[in-house]
Each structure stands twice: as structure tokens, then as C-alpha cells.
């Protein structure tokens, strides 16, 4: 395996450098690529670490074992910049990786995105607006800002857009994956706990229904009894395996 650590993919005036790490399988390529986007309510989190419920490094190791390169990326938090800065950062990382594909043995025609929670939201948005994403895996994502405490200016969703969604309906819609669904969407895998007390199951359910109605390819996997980050579920390894298998099939 080849590793590239602490790579600066963007340096925006007035902000911290934005970094990514890239792991590429050994052997003949070019290899498909999955871009991992961490969660943290748009307020915290780290590209290097998985949720506490997920064994350290397990997602990244599983991708490499499947012959898929994996990049893990930073993005600006809502305390640093409001939306669409976060999506802009994801797209800047994708652009950097595409530009580096030949040097890093990557196949630019086979790029997927995978995120959890806030990262799942950004993965879904990137998949629906980038135009060249081949697959999306979103674990318990935010998909519609307008239905979760829309009048509260202190929620993570409100802080993402700089005000209560009800007061900023156009920006709330722009930041909601449900607003960008079309038949041109890449294949989606939505995985969500049925007992999620942070982002309810309906957030994935509605996006799945809209994708299906539009004629896109969407798979919805509800995880019975699981809370946010799949807390209370006893087979995290199985969810990782299902997600990697989905990407392996979609990126072939």
C-alpha cells in the first residue's frame, strides 16, 4: 500500500490549510477511489478518526482489502464558514484527487463518496451536484434541513447555514440533498438506524423515496434498533462489509 499523509489540497486565505490523507492499494492500477467524509454536526470531527462505535481504521482497511483506494478529507466547520463552504471544500478535494490521479494510480472515472452523519450529508450533496461521482454511501445523513427544528437558530443545521432554516428557506433548500434529486443521480446506499435520536430515519427514507421516484438507483438499509452512529447495533462489521461491497460493485 502507498500512503500520502497530510497533503494540503486547498489553502484558502484566512483559513487553516485543508488536508487529506490517501491510501492506495499495491499492485497494478489505476484503482477506484472512495472519499471518506467524517461527521461531527459540522462543528467538529477529524478525517483520521471513525465514530467511536466503529473499530479504528476498519472502514479504511476494508476498502484497501477490496482494492479500492481511500482518501480522507478535512472540510471547514460551520464555526469557520457557513454553507456552501463545506461542499466547496469537498469538491476542491475531489478536484485535487482527480488532478493527482495519474501520479497516484487512481481511476478518475471510478470515484465514490462515503460519509457519516454530517459527512453523509456532504457525500449525498456531492453525489447529486458534482456530476462525476459514480456512487454514494451515506450513513445516517441529514437530507432535509426544513423539517428538523426549522425555527431554532442554535441547531447544528442552523449554524451550518448561518440562521434558522425557516428564516433562510432558499439556503436551507440549497443545503438539502432532497432538493437536488434527479434521474441523473449516481447509485446510492443509505444506511440508517431505526432508533436514531439525532437524525431520524425519515431523513434517509425520504431521500430514498425521491431517488427511486426519479428513476435513480437507490438502496435503503434500515438498521433495526440502532441509534445515531449505529449505537446499539452488534454487527458494525456487517454494515462496513455491505457498504464496501456496494462500492466495489458500483465502481467496477
144-170 tens-digit pLDDT: 999 999 999 999 999 999 999 999 999
pLDDT of residue 252: 85
What is residue 170's DSSP assignment? H
CA atoms within 13 A on the CB side of 224: 0
- pTM given for the model: 0.97
Cα–Cα distance, 95 to 98 (Å, whole number): 5
Contacts of 16 (CB under 8 A, 6+ apart): 80
Place of cell 484527487: 97
Average pLDDT over residues 140-146: 98
Confirm if 39 and 119 have CB atoms less than 8 A apart.
yes
Cα–Cα distance, 149 to 232 (Å, whole number): 25
Place of cell 458534482: 130
201-251 tens-digit pLDDT: 999 999 999 999 999 999 999 999 999 999 999 999 999 999 999 999 999
Q: Is the pLDDT at 117 greater than 90, yes or no? A: yes
63-80 tens-digit pLDDT: 999 999 999 999 999 999
Average pLDDT, the chain: 97
Cα–Cα distance, 191 to 201 (Å, whole number): 9
Which structural domains are found in the chain, ordered by start?
2-250 (3.40.50.1820)
Confirm if 199 and 228 have CB atoms less than 8 A apart.
yes
Cα–Cα distance, 127 to 182 (Å, whole number): 11
Amino acid at each position: 500500500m502507498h500512503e500520502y499523509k497530510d497533503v494540503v489540497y486547498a489553502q484558502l486565505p484566512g483559513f487553516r490549510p485543508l488536508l487529506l490523507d490517501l491510501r492506495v492499494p499495491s499492485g497494478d492500477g489505476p484503482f477506484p477511489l472512495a472519499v471518506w467524509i467524517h461527521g461531527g454536526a459540522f462543528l467538529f470531527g477529524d478525517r483520521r478518526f471513525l465514530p467511536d462505535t466503529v473499530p479504528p481504521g476498519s472502514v479504511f482497511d476494508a476498502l484497501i482489502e477490496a482494492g479500492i483506494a481511500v482518501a480522507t478529507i478535512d472540510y471547514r466547520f460551520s464555526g469557520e464558514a457557513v454553507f456552501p463552504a463545506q461542499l466547496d471544500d469537498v469538491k476542491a478535494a475531489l478536484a485535487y484527487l482527480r488532478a493527482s490521479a495519474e501520479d497516484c494510480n487512481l481511476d478518475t472515472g471510478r470515484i465514490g463518496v462515503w460519509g457519516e452523519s454530517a459527512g453523509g450529508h456532504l457525500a449525498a450533496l456531492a453525489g447529486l451536484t458534482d456530476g462525476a461521482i459514480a456512487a454514494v454511501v451515506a450513513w445516517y445523513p441529514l437530507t432535509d434541513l426544513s423539517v428538523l427544528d426549522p425555527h431554532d437558530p442554535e441547531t447544528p443545521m442552523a449554524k451550518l447555514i448561518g440562521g434558522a432554516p425557516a428564516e433562510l428557506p432558499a439556503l436551507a433548500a440549497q443545503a438539502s440533498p432532497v432538493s437536488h434529486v434527479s434521474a441523473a443521480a449516481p447509485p446510492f446506499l443509505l444506511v440508517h438506524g431505526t432508533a436514531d435520536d439525532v437524525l431520524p430515519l425519515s431523513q434517509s427514507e425520504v431521500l430514498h423515496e425521491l431517488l427511486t421516484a426519479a428513476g435513480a438507483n437507490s438502496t435503503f438499509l434500515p438498521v433495526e434498533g440502532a441509534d445515531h452512529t449505529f449505537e446499539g447495533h452488534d454487527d458494525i462489521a456487517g454494515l462496513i462489509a455491505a457498504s464496501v461491497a456496494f462500492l466495489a460493485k458500483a465502481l467496477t
